[in-house]
Homo-oligomer: A and B are copies of this chain.
């Protein structure tokens, strides 16, 4: 549940990660000034540092989809009840979480029909796009929108689960099943790249089980990351709908033979949840550790000023020169505050996870160097001012690799291959992390694992893998090598 607003901004110390992961997470989000709960229950405010992070993530993904011909649009926030109700499985999945607009204006006049605030937009985008699709020549339609959606969750967590959140939702319309399925996988690949190459979070890429798929989909693919408490986080999903939605909303086209066919459609989304992912995949007891490619500030410089004015001016002059030199090369900030001691500044920028810090004192300036400290290893290294821009770019690239490698190692160390149910149950009595096991693909076996482990579910499995062996639960022939984990 939402915390009372009075607690805002009062985090004095971050609870150690090993002591209480949930508390640690909330402390970090708030102390790093990423987001807070508001007095509107379950709804957050994203603060400037958190929003800048989101803007960098948005830019990265937006560039990817635009390069492959996807186009941004804006669709209505509100969905008439009758439209939301048309696809039976879909509404079954979302109805419990819908917020309804029922009244308007000064006298709060009742609407003829309640309007849902979109929990996702399949049921409004389909009916709108059908008007723009007459012939196979109008296809494919590759649309996307960046927007807010609302799901009336009862258990909330900043960035991971809130009543309102921000995301992109792609919705595409195709003339063949093959093309639509290719689209699903194209985007899945983008999501993998976004997670790994931008957020430095290694992910499992694969198919969701029938139980775990999106309400209304033929199948759902996902990327799943491992958080530092060993739990899984579903970081993005790409769905294949076949003709399910186009049948419900009559989205058709005239094919080459001039006969009417229904479209094949997809949808896919990533959200501000990705911010939660990078916090929980990389953070430590001192706070955030940000992947450089999306860090709002990549390099922060802290001046160390002595009492004599000439040496102070030398340091300031050096930093002003660096500000000019580094512009456009790295996202650089000098912490000029005069009423805060350098040590406090170090701590603050460590909480905020800035990848690289430069400490610049009078002796450094004299020696033509600065002291470089990286957030990951915290080693202090003198580096020459000459050629600093290039050096910092190389350091940031290396930082990304190191961060990715660290997460990958952590994931490998917390993944077990197990072959029978007893071992799985036993494993989760003492351990967390991922378990990889063979599985027959049946819901009964999933359910049994979930029951006996107190909540471990299937996350996803690689597509088209040749499997030999038997199901970890029932001993029948296995179809998939699936990842089990507790999940957010």
Contacts and interface: CB of A to CB of B under 8 A. Distances in A.
Contact of A148 (B101, B104, B148): B148
A479 B275 CA distance: 54
A43 B97 CA distance: 23
Contacts of A45: 73-76, 128
Given A76-B164, A80-B39, A143 B100 contact: no
A140 to B, nearest CB: 13
Given A9-B132, A106-B95, A131-B5, A43 B101 contact: no
Given A8-B131, A72-B55, A40 B105 contact: no
Nearest to A127: B39
A71 interface: yes
A21 to B, nearest CB: 26
Interface stretch (A46-54, A203-211, A298-306, A438-446): A46-54
A9 B46 contact: no
A72 B296 CA distance: 12
Given A100-B103, A105-B97, A128 B38 contact: yes
B38 A74 contact: no
Instruction: Count identical subunits in the complex.
Output: 2
Contacts of A40: 76, 78-80, 115, 124
- The residue in A36, A101, A147 that gathers the most chain B C-beta atoms within 10 A of its C-beta is A101
A474 interface: no
Contacts of A75: 38, 45
Interface string A26-46: 000000000010111001111
Nearest to A8: B131
B51 A71 contact: yes
A152 B105 contact: yes
Interface in A122-153: 124, 127-128, 131-132, 137, 143, 147-148, 150, 152
Q: How large is the interface on A (under 10, 10 to 19, 20 to 34, 35 or more residues)?
A: 35 or more
Contacts of A152: 104-105
A104 B76 CA distance: 19
A384 interface: no
B105 A103 contact: no
A166 interface: yes
Interface string A415-426: 000000000000
Nearest to A79: B40
A382 interface: no
A124 B45 CA distance: 10
Given A105-B152, A106-B95, A152-B105, A73 B47 contact: yes
A52 B72 contact: yes
A52 B80 contact: no
A38 B101 contact: no
A198 to B, nearest CB: 19
A285 to B, nearest CB: 25
A99 interface: yes
Nearest to A272: B74
Contact of A74 (B8, B99, B131, B166): B166
A117 interface: yes
Interface of A: 5, 8-9, 36, 38-40, 43-48, 51-52, 54-55, 71-80, 83, 95-106, 108, 114-115, 117, 124, 127-128, 131-132, 137, 143, 147-148, 150, 152, 164, 166, 339
Given A38-B76, A54-B74, 8 more contacts: A39-B127, A74-B148, A74-B166, A76-B164, A77-B117, A100-B103, A102-B102, A148-B148
